[in-house]
Amino acid sequence: MSEDAARKDIEKAQIVPAERPRRVWRYRHALPVRLTHWITAGAILILLMSGLQIFNAHPALYWGDVTDFDNPVFTIDPMTGTNRLLGAEWGNGLTPYDTALPSWMTLPAYRSLPDGRLWHFFFAWVLVGSLALYLAWGLVSRHLQRDIVPRGRDFRNLPASAWQHMRLKFHDAAGRYSSVQKISYAAVLFVVLPLIILTGLTMSPAMNAAWPFLVDLFGGRQSARTIHFICAIALALFAIVHVVMALLSGPINALVGIVTGWRRERIETEDQGERGDER
Protein backbone atom coordinates (compact mmCIF):
# COMPACT_ATOMS: atom_id res chain seq x y z
CA MET A 1 0.00 0.00 0.00
CA SER A 2 1.31 3.44 -0.88
CA GLU A 3 1.98 6.07 1.78
CA ASP A 4 -0.82 8.23 0.44
CA ALA A 5 -3.34 5.48 0.80
CA ALA A 6 -2.10 4.74 4.28
CA ARG A 7 -2.48 8.40 5.24
CA LYS A 8 -6.04 8.37 3.90
CA ASP A 9 -6.75 5.32 6.02
CA ILE A 10 -5.49 7.17 9.08
CA GLU A 11 -7.56 10.22 8.25
CA LYS A 12 -10.66 8.06 7.80
CA ALA A 13 -9.94 6.35 11.07
CA GLN A 14 -9.79 9.63 12.95
CA ILE A 15 -13.50 10.21 12.35
CA VAL A 16 -14.14 7.23 14.65
CA PRO A 17 -14.50 8.23 18.33
CA ALA A 18 -11.12 7.98 19.99
CA GLU A 19 -12.09 5.70 22.89
CA ARG A 20 -13.12 2.80 20.59
CA PRO A 21 -10.42 0.66 18.94
CA ARG A 22 -9.85 2.30 15.60
CA ARG A 23 -10.57 -0.04 12.70
CA VAL A 24 -10.55 0.60 8.98
CA TRP A 25 -11.42 -1.43 5.89
CA ARG A 26 -8.32 -2.25 3.90
CA TYR A 27 -8.05 -3.88 0.49
CA ARG A 28 -5.61 -6.75 1.12
CA HIS A 29 -6.19 -9.48 -1.48
CA ALA A 30 -6.18 -8.68 -5.20
CA LEU A 31 -8.64 -10.49 -7.45
CA PRO A 32 -6.09 -12.97 -8.96
CA VAL A 33 -5.03 -13.98 -5.44
CA ARG A 34 -8.61 -14.59 -4.31
CA LEU A 35 -9.54 -16.43 -7.49
CA THR A 36 -6.52 -18.75 -7.52
CA HIS A 37 -6.77 -19.25 -3.74
CA TRP A 38 -10.20 -20.86 -4.08
CA ILE A 39 -9.47 -22.76 -7.28
CA THR A 40 -6.29 -24.15 -5.70
CA ALA A 41 -8.09 -25.01 -2.45
CA GLY A 42 -10.79 -26.93 -4.34
CA ALA A 43 -8.29 -28.67 -6.61
CA ILE A 44 -6.08 -29.74 -3.68
CA LEU A 45 -9.07 -31.19 -1.80
CA ILE A 46 -10.15 -33.21 -4.85
CA LEU A 47 -6.56 -34.28 -5.61
CA LEU A 48 -6.01 -35.44 -2.02
CA MET A 49 -9.21 -37.49 -1.96
CA SER A 50 -8.80 -39.00 -5.44
CA GLY A 51 -5.12 -39.64 -4.60
CA LEU A 52 -6.18 -41.71 -1.60
CA GLN A 53 -8.54 -43.65 -3.90
CA ILE A 54 -5.52 -44.43 -6.13
CA PHE A 55 -3.44 -45.34 -3.07
CA ASN A 56 -6.10 -47.88 -2.05
CA ALA A 57 -5.39 -49.85 -5.27
CA HIS A 58 -1.95 -50.74 -3.89
CA PRO A 59 -1.66 -49.30 -0.38
CA ALA A 60 2.11 -49.57 0.01
CA LEU A 61 5.06 -47.27 -0.66
CA TYR A 62 8.61 -48.25 -1.60
CA TRP A 63 12.03 -46.69 -2.08
CA GLY A 64 14.09 -47.03 -5.27
CA ASP A 65 13.12 -47.58 -8.90
CA VAL A 66 11.20 -50.84 -8.46
CA THR A 67 8.95 -52.54 -5.94
CA ASP A 68 10.36 -54.89 -3.32
CA PHE A 69 6.97 -56.32 -2.32
CA ASP A 70 8.26 -57.75 0.98
CA ASN A 71 9.88 -54.52 2.15
CA PRO A 72 7.56 -51.53 1.82
CA VAL A 73 8.66 -48.27 3.47
CA PHE A 74 5.05 -47.80 4.50
CA THR A 75 1.91 -49.87 4.12
CA ILE A 76 -1.65 -50.11 5.37
CA ASP A 77 -2.23 -53.71 4.35
CA PRO A 78 -5.79 -55.09 4.57
CA MET A 79 -4.57 -58.52 3.36
CA THR A 80 -2.39 -59.16 6.42
CA GLY A 81 -4.13 -56.70 8.72
CA THR A 82 -0.88 -54.92 9.51
CA ASN A 83 0.54 -51.46 9.11
CA ARG A 84 4.23 -50.94 8.55
CA LEU A 85 6.42 -47.88 8.74
CA LEU A 86 10.21 -48.14 8.29
CA GLY A 87 10.36 -51.67 9.74
CA ALA A 88 7.99 -51.03 12.67
CA GLU A 89 4.88 -53.19 12.41
CA TRP A 90 1.50 -53.09 14.15
CA GLY A 91 -2.01 -54.40 13.59
CA ASN A 92 -4.64 -52.27 11.84
CA GLY A 93 -7.74 -54.42 12.39
CA LEU A 94 -8.53 -54.53 8.66
CA THR A 95 -9.75 -57.63 6.81
CA PRO A 96 -9.09 -58.49 3.14
CA TYR A 97 -12.59 -57.17 2.33
CA ASP A 98 -11.70 -53.67 3.56
CA THR A 99 -9.96 -50.87 1.70
CA ALA A 100 -6.82 -49.48 3.33
CA LEU A 101 -8.41 -46.04 3.76
CA PRO A 102 -12.13 -45.59 4.50
CA SER A 103 -14.53 -44.46 1.78
CA TRP A 104 -15.23 -41.06 3.39
CA MET A 105 -11.61 -40.11 2.64
CA THR A 106 -11.71 -41.08 -1.04
CA LEU A 107 -13.12 -39.68 -4.25
CA PRO A 108 -15.26 -41.29 -5.51
CA ALA A 109 -16.50 -42.79 -2.23
CA TYR A 110 -17.04 -46.19 -3.88
CA ARG A 111 -13.94 -48.18 -4.73
CA SER A 112 -12.80 -47.39 -8.30
CA LEU A 113 -9.22 -46.93 -9.42
CA PRO A 114 -10.21 -45.73 -12.95
CA ASP A 115 -12.62 -43.11 -11.59
CA GLY A 116 -10.06 -41.96 -9.04
CA ARG A 117 -7.56 -41.51 -11.87
CA LEU A 118 -10.14 -39.62 -13.95
CA TRP A 119 -10.65 -37.07 -11.15
CA HIS A 120 -6.95 -36.93 -10.30
CA PHE A 121 -5.65 -36.24 -13.80
CA PHE A 122 -8.32 -33.63 -14.56
CA PHE A 123 -7.78 -31.64 -11.37
CA ALA A 124 -4.00 -31.98 -11.68
CA TRP A 125 -4.39 -29.69 -14.71
CA VAL A 126 -6.64 -27.33 -12.73
CA LEU A 127 -3.97 -27.11 -9.99
CA VAL A 128 -1.14 -26.55 -12.48
CA GLY A 129 -3.15 -23.84 -14.29
CA SER A 130 -4.13 -22.09 -11.07
CA LEU A 131 -0.57 -22.21 -9.68
CA ALA A 132 0.89 -20.93 -12.97
CA LEU A 133 -1.62 -18.06 -13.07
CA TYR A 134 -0.90 -17.10 -9.45
CA LEU A 135 2.90 -17.26 -9.86
CA ALA A 136 2.84 -15.30 -13.13
CA TRP A 137 0.58 -12.59 -11.66
CA GLY A 138 2.56 -12.62 -8.41
CA LEU A 139 5.83 -11.99 -10.24
CA VAL A 140 4.48 -9.27 -12.52
CA SER A 141 2.65 -7.44 -9.72
CA ARG A 142 5.63 -7.98 -7.40
CA HIS A 143 3.24 -9.52 -4.82
CA LEU A 144 5.59 -12.52 -4.51
CA GLN A 145 8.73 -10.44 -4.08
CA ARG A 146 7.05 -7.99 -1.68
CA ASP A 147 4.81 -10.21 0.45
CA ILE A 148 5.82 -13.87 0.13
CA VAL A 149 9.55 -14.46 -0.47
CA PRO A 150 11.05 -14.72 3.03
CA ARG A 151 14.18 -12.72 3.87
CA GLY A 152 16.99 -13.56 6.26
CA ARG A 153 15.23 -11.78 9.12
CA ASP A 154 12.14 -13.97 8.62
CA PHE A 155 14.23 -17.06 9.29
CA ARG A 156 15.90 -15.43 12.32
CA ASN A 157 12.46 -14.33 13.53
CA LEU A 158 10.87 -17.76 12.93
CA PRO A 159 10.95 -19.05 16.54
CA ALA A 160 9.58 -15.77 17.93
CA SER A 161 6.91 -15.64 15.23
CA ALA A 162 5.97 -19.26 15.84
CA TRP A 163 5.67 -18.50 19.56
CA GLN A 164 3.34 -15.59 18.77
CA HIS A 165 1.16 -17.91 16.66
CA MET A 166 1.05 -20.53 19.39
CA ARG A 167 -0.11 -17.90 21.87
CA LEU A 168 -2.74 -16.96 19.26
CA LYS A 169 -1.35 -13.44 18.91
CA PHE A 170 -2.05 -12.49 15.32
CA HIS A 171 -0.94 -9.25 13.82
CA ASP A 172 -3.90 -8.28 11.68
CA ALA A 173 -2.84 -4.65 11.80
CA ALA A 174 0.56 -4.99 10.24
CA GLY A 175 -0.62 -5.50 6.67
CA ARG A 176 2.24 -7.92 6.25
CA TYR A 177 2.49 -11.64 6.62
CA SER A 178 4.30 -12.89 9.71
CA SER A 179 7.55 -14.81 9.35
CA VAL A 180 5.69 -18.08 9.96
CA GLN A 181 3.21 -17.24 7.23
CA LYS A 182 5.86 -16.14 4.73
CA ILE A 183 8.02 -19.21 5.26
CA SER A 184 5.11 -21.67 5.16
CA TYR A 185 3.49 -20.03 2.11
CA ALA A 186 6.85 -19.95 0.32
CA ALA A 187 7.52 -23.60 1.23
CA VAL A 188 4.16 -24.65 -0.24
CA LEU A 189 4.47 -22.49 -3.36
CA PHE A 190 8.13 -23.03 -4.21
CA VAL A 191 8.91 -26.46 -2.75
CA VAL A 192 5.92 -28.70 -2.02
CA LEU A 193 3.72 -27.90 -5.03
CA PRO A 194 6.54 -28.06 -7.64
CA LEU A 195 7.78 -31.27 -6.00
CA ILE A 196 4.35 -32.91 -6.03
CA ILE A 197 3.85 -31.97 -9.71
CA LEU A 198 7.28 -33.27 -10.74
CA THR A 199 7.02 -36.51 -8.76
CA GLY A 200 3.56 -37.00 -10.25
CA LEU A 201 5.03 -36.67 -13.74
CA THR A 202 7.83 -39.07 -12.80
CA MET A 203 5.29 -41.86 -12.27
CA SER A 204 4.19 -41.61 -15.93
CA PRO A 205 5.99 -44.12 -18.19
CA ALA A 206 5.59 -41.79 -21.19
CA MET A 207 7.17 -38.92 -19.24
CA ASN A 208 10.02 -41.27 -18.27
CA ALA A 209 10.78 -41.71 -21.99
CA ALA A 210 10.49 -37.95 -22.59
CA TRP A 211 12.39 -36.74 -19.49
CA PRO A 212 14.46 -39.66 -18.16
CA PHE A 213 16.38 -37.30 -15.82
CA LEU A 214 13.28 -37.00 -13.61
CA VAL A 215 13.58 -40.67 -12.60
CA ASP A 216 17.23 -40.14 -11.64
CA LEU A 217 16.45 -36.87 -9.82
CA PHE A 218 14.06 -38.62 -7.42
CA GLY A 219 16.04 -41.86 -7.13
CA GLY A 220 13.58 -43.99 -9.11
CA ARG A 221 9.87 -44.28 -9.87
CA GLN A 222 8.90 -45.83 -6.54
CA SER A 223 10.84 -43.16 -4.61
CA ALA A 224 9.02 -40.51 -6.65
CA ARG A 225 5.72 -42.13 -5.68
CA THR A 226 6.72 -42.06 -2.01
CA ILE A 227 7.84 -38.40 -2.21
CA HIS A 228 4.53 -37.59 -3.95
CA PHE A 229 2.72 -39.11 -0.97
CA ILE A 230 4.86 -37.25 1.60
CA CYS A 231 4.15 -33.97 -0.22
CA ALA A 232 0.43 -34.77 -0.17
CA ILE A 233 0.57 -35.27 3.60
CA ALA A 234 2.49 -31.99 3.95
CA LEU A 235 -0.20 -30.20 1.90
CA ALA A 236 -2.98 -31.73 3.98
CA LEU A 237 -1.28 -30.64 7.23
CA PHE A 238 -0.67 -27.17 5.82
CA ALA A 239 -4.34 -26.87 4.81
CA ILE A 240 -5.54 -27.96 8.25
CA VAL A 241 -3.24 -25.54 10.10
CA HIS A 242 -4.13 -22.76 7.64
CA VAL A 243 -7.88 -23.21 8.24
CA VAL A 244 -7.41 -23.45 12.02
CA MET A 245 -5.31 -20.25 12.03
CA ALA A 246 -7.91 -18.44 9.91
CA LEU A 247 -10.65 -19.54 12.32
CA LEU A 248 -8.68 -18.52 15.40
CA SER A 249 -7.61 -15.16 14.03
CA GLY A 250 -11.20 -14.12 13.26
CA PRO A 251 -13.12 -16.34 10.86
CA ILE A 252 -15.54 -13.67 9.55
CA ASN A 253 -12.79 -11.19 8.77
CA ALA A 254 -10.59 -13.87 7.21
CA LEU A 255 -13.40 -15.18 5.02
CA VAL A 256 -14.69 -11.75 3.98
CA GLY A 257 -11.08 -10.85 3.20
CA ILE A 258 -10.30 -13.78 0.94
CA VAL A 259 -13.70 -13.50 -0.80
CA THR A 260 -14.06 -9.73 -1.30
CA GLY A 261 -10.46 -8.63 -0.80
CA TRP A 262 -11.41 -6.22 2.03
CA ARG A 263 -10.45 -6.78 5.64
CA ARG A 264 -11.38 -4.74 8.69
CA GLU A 265 -8.17 -4.01 10.50
CA ARG A 266 -7.06 -2.19 13.61
CA ILE A 267 -5.14 0.89 12.81
CA GLU A 268 -1.74 1.30 14.32
CA THR A 269 -0.72 4.48 16.07
CA GLU A 270 2.67 5.87 15.24
CA ASP A 271 4.44 4.66 18.37
CA GLN A 272 3.34 1.08 17.58
CA GLY A 273 4.77 1.69 14.12
CA GLU A 274 6.85 -1.27 13.00
CA ARG A 275 6.07 -3.73 15.77
CA GLY A 276 3.77 -5.77 13.62
CA ASP A 277 3.64 -8.85 15.76
CA GLU A 278 2.60 -7.01 18.93
CA ARG A 279 -0.73 -5.34 19.24
Q: Which residues bind other proteins (CB under 8 A)?
A: 54-55, 57-58, 60, 62, 65-67, 69, 112-115, 117-119, 121-122, 124-125, 203-212, 215, 221-222, 225
Whether 103 contacts 109, CB under 8 Å: yes
* Count of other CB atoms within 10 angstroms of residue 49: 20
CB nearer other proteins, residue 92 or residue 204: 204
Comparison of 164 and 226: residue with beta carbon closer to other proteins: 226
Q: Coil, helix or strand for 163?
A: helix
C-beta closer to other proteins: residue 57 or 158: 57
Beta carbon of residue 61, minimum distance to other proteins (angstroms, whole number): 9
* Residue 194: CB minimum distance to other proteins, A: 18
Give me the least distance between CB of 83 and other proteins, in Å please.
Answer: 17
Cα–Cα distance measured from residue 77 to residue 79, given in angstroms and rounded to the nearest whole number: 5
The DSSP-derived string for 177-206 is --HHHHHHHHHIIIIIHHHHHHHHHHT-HH
The distance from CA 157 to its chain's CA centroid, rounded to whole angstroms, is 21
Cβ proximity of 33 and 134 under 8 Å: yes
CB of 97 to other proteins, least distance (A): 18
